[in-house]
Amino acid sequence: MTGAIDMEIQKYLPLLGNEEKKSLLGVIKSFLNLKNENSREEIDIEQYNKEIDAAMARIDNGEFTTQEDLEREMESW
């Protein structure tokens, strides 16, 4: 599957102008930076528990989206 995606990307690259290629290169670099940041992010158990507590508090305050609401929202995409 990855090979097919690589081939398709290579097929479209020559069709882009320099500005479009610069923009695409910026997007690729941005994706790689995010990936690197996320892979290096380690938290200890205390931070993990704080994040869970904060998430539970948001749920208790009604700050969440139900699956039904999300499905309705997705229909307008």
Mean pLDDT by 10 residues, the chain (77 residues): 88 91 90 72 84 93 90 90
3-state secondary structure of 43: coil
Number of helices (H) and strands (E) in the chain: give both, helices first. 4, 0
User: What pLDDT is attached to residue 12?
Assistant: 92
What the block records as the tokens of 5 is: 């995606």
> Residue 64 has which token pair?
């969440």
Q: What is the pTM of this model?
A: 0.42
Least Cα distance to 24 among 35, 14, 37 occurs for: 14
